[in-house]
Amino acid sequence: MAKINENYLKLQAGYLFPEIGRRVNDYMASHPGKKVIKMGIGDVTRPLVPSVIQAFHEGVDEMAQANTFRGYGPEQGYGFLREAIAKNDYLSKSIDISAADIFISDGSKCDTGNIQEIFGHNNKIAICDPVYPVYADTTVMAGKTGNYNSGYYEGIIYMPCTRKNGFIPDLPAETPDLIFLCYPNNPTGTVATKEELKKWVDYARKNKSIILYDAAYEAFITEEGIPHSIYEIEGAKEVAIEFRSFSKTAGFTGTRCAFTIIPEELKAYDSTGKAHSVKSLWNRRHSTKFNGVSYPVQKAAAAIYTEQGKKEVAEVITYYLENARIMKESLSAAGYEVFGGMNAPYIWVKTKNDMPSWDFFDILLHEINVVGTPGSGFGPAGEGYFRFSAFADRNSTIEAMSRIKNHRLS
Amino acid sequence: MAKINENYLKLQAGYLFPEIGRRVNDYMASHPGKKVIKMGIGDVTRPLVPSVIQAFHEGVDEMAQANTFRGYGPEQGYGFLREAIAKNDYLSKSIDISAADIFISDGSKCDTGNIQEIFGHNNKIAICDPVYPVYADTTVMAGKTGNYNSGYYEGIIYMPCTRKNGFIPDLPAETPDLIFLCYPNNPTGTVATKEELKKWVDYARKNKSIILYDAAYEAFITEEGIPHSIYEIEGAKEVAIEFRSFSKTAGFTGTRCAFTIIPEELKAYDSTGKAHSVKSLWNRRHSTKFNGVSYPVQKAAAAIYTEQGKKEVAEVITYYLENARIMKESLSAAGYEVFGGMNAPYIWVKTKNDMPSWDFFDILLHEINVVGTPGSGFGPAGEGYFRFSAFADRNSTIEAMSRIKNHRLS
């Protein structure tokens, strides 16, 4: 008799974003003609830049001729892309990362979820609260938790990120083995300084823990001195995996390409205490359960690193950051307490009078046709907060802010 | 302290195809100028067909304009592709499969590996011997086996496929919960008749087992009456998942697109004996750990189902099958016992005098610069066999056969 993985039964309701999609679709189906402005799911709206489009077409054309056709590529990604990443994202910024430590994938969501597989069930996981839901859900699926109880899964170490600690977690009372951190942060839009990250790297080195560092939004950092990579911190290569994505950096949410860095130095341990290379384990997983990213997509991604590509991509980032600035200003003017939006495409808003997040979601959707993300969807400490993304087009952004300003929302 | 998934320590050496790649690269590096003909890894060589290229370009162009740009798509795949598959691969052949039961993915290797995650550790897995190595390796990674011992992982039910049973396994003595079957078969190139598949479907229904049916090579079936889908067998929707891919059907090995069918009717059980929808479990996994296939790739894949696309793709299949015919004939003429190659792109050859598979591999590589796949790499019952793929170009195929014929191989 085929038996299910019963860990799945512990999972709560639907995954957050499909649930938002369902409510929005239901509303739109029963209210045709309404112009709903979507600032919920963190999805980009600007087209791929010309350099990327040109390289994408060239990649497709190569697939049309026998002498340039590409079949299976290296599971880890093509050398030309891994080298462009190492050179432009790391070496040119004095961060010593080798192309050989870079794994190209079809998305950071996949990688942050799949990475769980190479670690045993007996690891204690720490995650921030609130946080991107994939970390907790995949921890549950992998059998590293107990049941769900009052908003939390037993066995996960939750680290509250609140106004009080500036949305940077304190070191937890119980020592975790794997620690998910995400800066610039989703959902709060806040960043961590070098000092704050150093605290975590030192803590992980002391405890032989591993930091799973999600840097999907690093391209949005505008302030000098804020670290773009955890490897800017001394010793981080011994204790950290870094996840990056072209999704938000270059509008690849529908094109699919990301990468993960696992330095040669990084070790994890077996039950006898023997150290093993984490990179080797991931390489085995990646080459057994994955077959590489589409060649034209990798070719398109590499174009981001040309001089022209860099310029074009930077313009798109600036466009979204200007949206964020407008939103931050408008929401503050409308009397909301607002966080983030300076070095990140997310605005984290305190609801008025502690209105529950989903109530605020439904009011915004039904009364002014604006979609955001309920803070409580990211964890109990997100209750009473709301996330807006800066990825809408300029006119929609201005229109949504105007609707919020002009409507009497409780 | 971060602890590894110790199941990975049970895995043997490298995954087969990277190991072949390593030996070939070593040889080529030390023998520059040698023309090595590759018939090892089952990778295609013909370019993408014109209809696919055109649609691929159109998809890229849509990504270049804000009003046609696509961000995150449905994790399950776009409706236009799922509906084209349901209509052309199933409904038009009187097989009742709904678009809602189809999950688009970036590869069957990913799906056949990842599917393990939704089933508990306490399932007994049956696989054929010899077989595509991913089934066993991902079973090990998922913690469903004991240690490796004399060519086999403890806990897996191996089903020998030999000349004696015509490479169709007998029902095993011990009852499995999950059964991997692959027809047309990789590596033996053999097919299963309706009667043979019915035996398995009936067996699975009786035992509430699930058949994981890999039909990646169905497009190569030329004989009338051989089933293209397991769902041609009555009752199969209650007990089978079917994996299909565009990799070999339409040359997508480097473009990446595949799909998996999980019928609504399919159930698996929890420890209390309660039935659960396998499709719901997979949908949760797919939407939490995957973010959909690149939009231009899905658009390109859908072009396979246009009238012109079907014609073009059929011509490529015919090309490879003609290679297979030439190989079958040449190898037989050279005194080898040959199987497969009629309804599949693989030729399964008995080595002469029971020469071990890897010895034959090294002789072919070093003496006549032809690369195949050692049968023992697919399992102990493959020892003394060798797989050639029919995916090389015509001239290389003829050249390789001529080298084999003219060289005195032991």
Which helix (H) or strand (E) segment holds residue A367: the answer is none
- Out of B106, B177, B178, the one facing A106 most closely (by C-beta) is B106
Q: Please give, rounded to a whole number of angstroms, the shortest distance from the CA of B114 to a CA of chain A.
A: 7
Q: Quick one: closest CA in B to A207, which residue?
A: B1
pLDDT digits (tens, 9 = 90+) for A289-341: 999 999 999 999 999 999 999 999 999 999 999 999 999 999 999 999 999 99
Partner-chain contact B60 A43, CB within 8 Å: no
Contacts of B64 in chain A (CB under 8 A): 47-48, 50, 53
Partner-chain contact A254 B69, CB within 8 Å: yes
pLDDT digits (tens, 9 = 90+) for A77-127: 999 999 999 999 999 999 999 999 999 999 999 999 999 999 999 999 999
Distance CA B367, CA B378 (A): 24
From A340, A342, A353, A343, select the one nearest A387 (Cα to Cα).
Answer: A340
Pair B406, B366: CB distance under 8 Å: no
Kindly report each contact of residues B165-171 with a partner whose C-beta sits within 8 Å and lies 24 or more positions away, as own/partner. B166/B190, B167/B339, B167/B348, B168/B192, B168/B196, B169/B128, B171/B199, B171/B200, B171/B203
Residue A356's Cβ-count burial label (10 Å; 0-12, 13-18, 19+) is middle
Which helix (H) or strand (E) segment holds residue A313: the answer is helix A307-333
- Measured in residues, chain B has a length of 410
Q: What is the mean pLDDT of residues B36-51?
A: 93
Q: Which amino acid is at B325?
A: R
SS3 at position A374: strand
Partner-chain contact A70 B254, CB within 8 Å: yes
Q: Please give, rounded to a whole number of angstroms, the shortest distance from the CA of A255 to a CA of chain B.
A: 4
B204 — phi, psi (to 5°)? -65, -40
Does the pLDDT at position B15 exceed 80?
Answer: no
Q: What is the pLDDT of residue B306?
A: 98
Pair B296, B78: CB distance under 8 Å: no
Q: Which amino acid is at B299?
A: K
With a pLDDT cut of 90, the percent of chain B lying above it is 94
Distance CA A159, CA A175 (A): 12
Does the pLDDT at position B79 exceed 70?
Answer: yes
Distance of CA B398 to the CA centre of its chain: 25
Distance CA B94, CA A41 (A): 40
Distance CA B257, CA B262 (A): 17
From A109, A20, A244, A104, select the one nearest B289 (Cα to Cα).
Answer: A109
pLDDT digits (tens, 9 = 90+) for A39-79: 988 899 999 999 999 999 999 999 999 999 999 999 999 99
Count of CB atoms within 10 A of residue B236's CB? 27
In a mutational test of the A interface, the residue from B67, B119, B201, B255 whose CB has the highest number of chain A CBs within 10 Å is B255
pLDDT digits (tens, 9 = 90+) for A329-359: 999 999 999 999 999 999 999 999 999 999 9
Q: What is the pLDDT of residue B188?
A: 97
Q: What is the pLDDT of residue B41?
A: 81
Q: What is the mean pLDDT of residues A193-221?
A: 98
Contacts of A18 in chain B (CB under 8 A): 75, 287
Q: What is the mean pLDDT of residues A264-289?
A: 97
Does the pLDDT at position A397 exceed 70?
Answer: yes
Contacts of B60 in chain A (CB under 8 A): 53, 56-57, 60, 296
What is the three-state SS of chain B? CCEECHHHHHCCCCCHHHHHHHHHHHHHHHCCCCCCEECCCCCCCCCCCHHHHHHHHHHHHHCCCCCCCCCCCCCCCCHHHHHHHHHHHHHHHCCCCCHHHEEEECCHHHHHHHHHHHECCCCCEEEEECCCCHHHHHHHHCCCCCCEECCEECCCEEEECCCCCCCCCCCCCCCCCEEEEECCCCCCCCCCCHHHHHHHHHHHHHHCCEEEEECCCHHHCCCCCCCCCHHHCCCHHHCEEEEEEHHHHHCCCCCCCEEEECCCCCEEECCCCCEEEHHHHHHHHHHHHCCCCCHHHHHHHHHHHCHHHHHHHHHHHHHHHHHHHHHHHHHHHCCCEEEECCCCCEEEEECHHHCCHHHHHHHHHHHHCEECEEHHHHCHHHCCEEEEECCCCHHHHHHHHHHHHHCCCC
Does the pLDDT at position A23 exceed 60?
Answer: yes
Which helix (H) or strand (E) segment holds residue A315: the answer is helix A307-333
pLDDT digits (tens, 9 = 90+) for B88-106: 999 999 999 999 999 999 9
Distance CA B207, CA B204 (A): 5
pLDDT digits (tens, 9 = 90+) for A220-252: 999 999 999 999 999 999 999 999 999 999 999
ipTM given for this complex: 0.96
Does the pLDDT at position A410 exceed 80?
Answer: no
- Out of B107, B210, B297, the one facing A291 most closely (by C-beta) is B107
Pair B158, B150: CB distance under 8 Å: no
CATH class of the domain at A53-305 = alpha beta
Does the pLDDT at position B276 exceed 60?
Answer: yes
The domain locations on chain A are 6-47+308-406, 53-305
Q: What is the mean pLDDT of residues A391-405?
A: 95
Q: Please give, rounded to a whole number of angstroms, the shortest distance from the CA of A25 to a CA of chain B.
A: 13
Q: What is the pLDDT of residue A46?
A: 97
- Out of A71, A114, A269, the one facing B253 most closely (by C-beta) is A71
Contacts of B293 in chain A (CB under 8 A): 256
Contacts of B296 in chain A (CB under 8 A): 56, 60, 255, 296
Residue B155's Cβ-count burial label (10 Å; 0-12, 13-18, 19+) is middle
Residue B162's Cβ-count burial label (10 Å; 0-12, 13-18, 19+) is middle
Does the pLDDT at position A18 exceed 90?
Answer: no
Domain covering B53-306, topology: Aspartate Aminotransferase; domain 2 (3.40.640)
Contacts of B290 in chain A (CB under 8 A): 107, 109-110
State the first-to-last Cα distance of chain A, in angstroms, to the nearest integer: 54
Pair A84, A78: CB distance under 8 Å: no
pLDDT digits (tens, 9 = 90+) for A120-167: 999 999 999 999 889 999 999 999 999 999 889 999 999 999 999 999
- Out of B1, B9, B208, the one facing A208 most closely (by C-beta) is B1
Partner-chain contact A46 B64, CB within 8 Å: no
Contacts of B285 in chain A (CB under 8 A): 8, 141
State the first-to-last Cα distance of chain B, in angstroms, to the nearest integer: 54
What band does B151 get if pLDDT is binned at 50, 70 and 90?
confident
**Mean pLDDT, rounded, of chain B:** 95
What band does B376 get if pLDDT is binned at 50, 70 and 90?
very high
Domain covering A6-47+308-406, topology: Aspartate Aminotransferase, domain 1 (3.90.1150)
Q: In whole angstroms, how far apart are CA B346 and each of A165, A196, B127?
A: 62, 57, 19
What band does B14 get if pLDDT is binned at 50, 70 and 90?
low
Partner-chain contact B3 A107, CB within 8 Å: no
Partner-chain contact B269 A3, CB within 8 Å: yes
With a pLDDT cut of 70, the percent of chain B lying above it is 99
Token pair 């430590």: residue:
A101
Partner-chain contact B255 A294, CB within 8 Å: yes
Sequence-distant (≥ 6) Cβ neighbours of residue B90 within 8 angstroms: B96, B97, B229, B231
Partner-chain contact B208 A114, CB within 8 Å: no
Distance CA A125, CA A113 (A): 13
- Measured in residues, chain A has a length of 410
Which CATH number describes the domain made up of B7-47+308-406? 3.90.1150.10
SS3 at position A102: strand
